[in-house]
Structure 1
Amino acid sequence: MKKSKSILVTSAVVASLALGTVSTAVTSQTSQASIIDNIQNIFSGAGSGISTTGGIDVKSLKTITLPAGADPNDSTTIEAAIGGTPTFYGMIPAKVTSVDDKGDGTGTIHFGPDFSNLGTIGTALQGISGIVLKADVDYKTASSITFANGATSLNTKKGDKISLKDDPSLYKMSDPNANATLISDGGFNYAYPGTYSITVQAVNGSTKSEETTLTVNVLEATIQNANQTVLQGSDWSSSNKATAQDSLGQALDLTSSNVNTSKVGSQNVTYTGVDPSLGADGEPITFTFTGTVNVVKADANLTVNFQDASTSQIVDTTTLTGASGQSVDITAPSGYDLVNSSDSSVTLQKGSNAKTVQVIKSGSSVATPFSGTIATFPNGGVVPLYNGEGTQSTRSLGADSAWQSDQTKTINGEKYYRVSTDEWVKASQVYEYSGQSRSITTNSGAVKALYATDGSRSNRSLAPGSAWFTDKLANINGTQMYRVSTNEWVAASDVN
């Protein structure tokens, strides 16, 4: 609620407001009018230094309308409903003192004076507050509006005709006497799948709710694996791989007509999908699909060997049986993932065959081929080794030792180099280099800085035009460098 400005009151003004002695004797309308005149004279008196509040006189209000769900005790709601700050006679701030709620969206708001910011004049005015500074204003609450299901969204099947404008049963309002008015249909067309935003309003005579946006989803559905190949004698209920979902991505509860798997040949099948949504009529939405099931004799089997890509060990074996030309799925063993997505299915060939499929432990990464030499740091101490899952072993590498590596991989977000069958070292504890065996000469000019293997600046340097033997070339912190002593390197740009 807005605050009134500060008020400066002279002693003469306060004296003129000492109406407490008068208030006990005032009972007639004429006396109340006289008191009001006194208040108005004081607030408008020349030189009084008093600023009036302005605002809406609650004494003049009869009935106000609040938004659906609004709290009649909330000052912001009251101000919005009456179009300004509540006052008495446009001068004295008013506040809600109590509310009589009838429980049906109607009631009465009781207003009284708010003297909290009127200072001395507020104290003086309290003597007449019980006579003229009170008001009772009736209120009613605008109806809320939703769909009949009580939600703000409604799903309907493509092609099912509904009328957003002419079908009152589609909507639900908190005011039973209100009617739904369609303001905008958002381009709705029941023949075209999609999501439409419509705008509606609940109207009861002159009382209107706020414009409300509701959503209508026109659904269609798709099916996967409607056409299938199954083996003679198999159980259709467990062999059936058909699935379906609606255009919102919701899975349908899919059933089908029976398939006689004892008979080789092609059979038609009907699928019925029940959507998790209810339609405008409150009934489940259903979709129907057709497909073909081909029952075949088993004349092919494939032995699949699953090989761990990190260790090259066979971790599991399975046999797939079916008909030649049939496409079957390959599923990795528990705890493993397929390395190559192309291995997720295979076309069976007549007779007995075998296939090796690369897998990796779930959560692990696939090793990448690498060919190079790495070395541990001279002053870093021994470096621990890890297995392909990132578990530290009991073995380690010595400081300033060189190793051949044939693979790299990322384990738990960190890069490793492989140095033996299932032993890996962290990339952060080694560096790559290429072997050298030649002399280099520093360029002319200033002395050339030397760096340690970790890239830190040495306190030593090389004289210009001096020759040095080098055995390694490495990338140190993004700079190509030659090694000229155990732990000293010179930038390649400083030599020739």
Structure 2
Amino acid sequence: MKLCIYFDGGIILKKSTSLLFSGLLVSGMVLGAVTNPVTVHADSDTATQTQVTNNVSYYDQSGKFILSKTLQGKQGTDITYAPDGYALMGDKPVFGADQANVKVTVAKMISVKVNYVDQNGKLVNSEVVNGGAGNTYKLTDIPAGCSWVNDEEQTITLVEGKEYNVPVNKKVFNTIIFKTSDNTEVGRTEIFGDKVGDSISLTSDKIPTGYTTDTSALTLQTDNNTQFVTVTKSADTSTGVVTVKDKAAQLYSIYGNTITGRTLDPGTPWKTFGTKVINGETYYQVSTYEWVKASDVDVKSDAAITPFVSTVKTGSSPVNLVDKTGKVITGRGLGANSEWKTANKIELNGKTYYQVATNEWVDASLVTVQGQNVDNNNTTATPFVSVVTTTNSPATLYTKDGQAISGRGLGPNSEWKTANKIVLNGETYYQVATNEWVKASSLIK
């Protein structure tokens, strides 16, 4: 059986999975969250704006027809929709009068490589930039310890197949080598400053994961000098678990160099102690000196999901979506200046994410919460002594605060005595055990 979920940009097919039962226990229950986008356009004279329907036709730069689409919005406001795989080109199109025909030019989405090169001609870092061919793009992710040579260098015009070498000024830097008391190296970092003698604070994100140090302030020495800092191993600070995919995974050093003869066996799970991006690719730390590419493993997230029923609004730029593990979902995002309903939130690698679709989450720092829904909770349990019957589907069990209980459920078409009921986020729950509750929607009315 396949479930078809229709989105604006096409159809996503999701393969169904079977549920395994052991008595009345149910595992693998998934809570789905479906959102309906509402596009909001800001305008200083909203009182005179009229909701209109336009017939919008999209063409590429050569005049080739791409797609026609009927869109609704307020007359005079920006049209932000672009077909999958394309970006708007040139001046932003706007909604015309009702039933107007609007022609929009779009550019094919491309990826280009940008190299940041210092004043000595050395490569500092590289990144991949995505955008519409022919569009201009302002660079913002300048490498740490660098400054722009001039403002003009920050803007590039995207050309397919072109590689960009962008000049930057690199500040005075020192390499910091972290060693334990037995002189074992456990990591490295760099510190930067405008001049020799500057006092530099050694922040926690620069110290190797799993270690602590009493040294918090360093003095910048001659450019390209090396300093040593003693660290002490702390308690277990694993941040998650990764599982190797169906073939052996190569291990790498902290600099992204291959470690000869060192791999992880297929299908084996490993604790992780942090992540690092090297030349645009993410790596997970699986031991003191060894890292594995994110593309070679699957990530398990044990982060707790909590209800968060609200509405969030994006800013002036589109926003990427990620899955529950924090991995960016290719080709999926939220449009600029658009509003989205949320169902849950999750804390992952120190960041908060809001759920806006079944397995699609948005970084909380990239949106604005428009305000919590009106409180319709009554979390004080009230007596409700009765008998309830589940539907012909298994019913997930929850704690009193609405958290799904892993591995616990009620079998289909089964009867259960209840003791109390509560209302949480507009949903009624019935108590069937000491701290186990079932949703009213999972029961026969």
Which structure is richer in relative contact order (CA contacts within 8 A, separation 6 or more)? 2
* TM-score, with length taken from structure 2: 0.19
Structure with the higher fraction of residues in helix conformation: 1
Q: Whose radius of gyration is greater, 1 or 2?
A: 1
Q: Structure 1 length normalisation: TM-score?
A: 0.18
Structure with higher strand content: 2
